[in-house]
Amino acid sequence: MKNLPRFIAFIASALVLLLFVYPLWRITLEAPQYPEGISMYIWINQITGDTPGTLQNINILNHYVGMQQIVPSSIPELQYFPYVVAALGVLGLIAALVNRPKVYLIWVIIFGALAFLGIYDFYLWEYDYGHNLSATAPIKVPGQAYQPPLFGSKMLLNFNAISYPAGGGIFMGISLMLSFLAYLLSRSSKKTPVNSASLKAPKTKQKAKPHLQHF
């Protein structure tokens, strides 16, 4: 029982490290003349596509409406995200080794905050690509922005843009939930052996309450 949170924290750390193996997010563009769709994968350290040429193909399509080129080497996040993710994994492993609620809590808070900031940062990039358009674009549609959704699908002129977490993003979400679970379990498992008598008393009290209300 005492090792359960530790076990869960190990799994959570392993899952977050899968971000090195699977992409974080996937954006797919669908149009009649792209029957197989064009999918772009956002990793913590790179942007890839179905084929080596996919990014170029998306940039070609984007240039008609004046969107900036997506150039992975010019996106600083792709340089330092791997360190952030590695640190999160290591922090999880440390928390598992220490196996104390406070350490788990610190991990959960840092993890949660970074995940939120990461997604917010992704949103900002999307906003910038979608709104910061060249003044000399061959195709200009007044009032039209080309920001893909963060989560879900949206028609952008002739393209349906579909955006969802990919494998890595899903594992990261599970990892975050597991880290929180590890924290919760560490609290209860810590209290159980050390202070079992005092715990039992309030429990019976709590149980009694509904009875009282019934009466």
Partner 1 sequence: MKISKIILACVPLMWIGACNSGNPESTPSGGAMAKNNAAEKVYVAPGEHDEFYSFMSGGFSGQVSVYGLPSGRLLKVIPVFSLDGEKGYGFNEETKPMLQTSFGFVPWDDAHHPELSQTDGVPDGRYLFINGNNTPRIARIDLSTFETAEIIEIPNSGGNHSSPFTTENSEYVVAGTRFSVPIPQKNVAISSYKEEFKGALSFISVDPEEGHMEVDFQVLLPGFDYDLAHAGKGKSHGWMFFTSYNSEESHTLKEVNASQNDKDYIAAINWKKAQEYLAQGKAIDMPAEYLINRYNEKKHMAETEKRTSVKVLLPQDCPGLIYYLPTPKSPHGVDVDPTGSYIVGNGKLNANLTIHSFDKMITAIENESFAGDIAGIPVLNFEDVVAGTVESGGLGPLHTEFDGEGNAYTTFFISSEVVKWKLDTWEVLDRIPTYYSVGHLMIPGGDSKKPWGKYMVALNKITKDRYLPTGPELAHSAQLYDISGDKMELLLDFPTIGEPHYAQAIPAELVKPNSKKIYKLDENEHPYFTKSESDARVEREGNEVHIYMTSIRSHFSPDNIEGISVGDQVYFHLTNLEQDWDVPHGLSVMGAQNAELLVMPGQTETLLWEPVKAGVFPFYCTDFCSALHQEMQGYIRVSPKGEQLPLSFSTGE
User: Which residue is it, tokens 């900031």?
Assistant: 117
Residue from 2, 21, 37, 51 touching partner 1 (CB under 8 A): that is 51
Supply φ then ψ for residue 83, to 5 degrees: -70, -40
Residue 60 within binding range of partner 1, rule CB under 8 A: yes
By the rule CB under 8 A, 46 interacts with partner 1: no
Least gap, CB of 158 to partner 1 (angstroms): 10
CA–CA gap between residue 165 and residue 176 (Å, rounded):
14
Told to check if 57 binds partner 1 by CB under 8 A, we report yes
Exposure string for 177-204, b = 16+ CB within 10 A, e = fewer = ebbbbbbebbbebbeeeeeeeeeeeeee
Which residues from 133-162 bind partner 1, rule CB under 8 A? 138-139
Q: Which stretch binds partner 1 (CB under 8 A): 49-57, 101-109, 123-131, 201-209?
A: 49-57
Residue 185: C-alpha distances to residues 30, 45, 105 (Å): 44, 33, 11
71 binds partner 1 (CB under 8 A): no
Residues near partner 1 (CB under 8 A) are 51-53, 56-57, 60, 64, 138-139
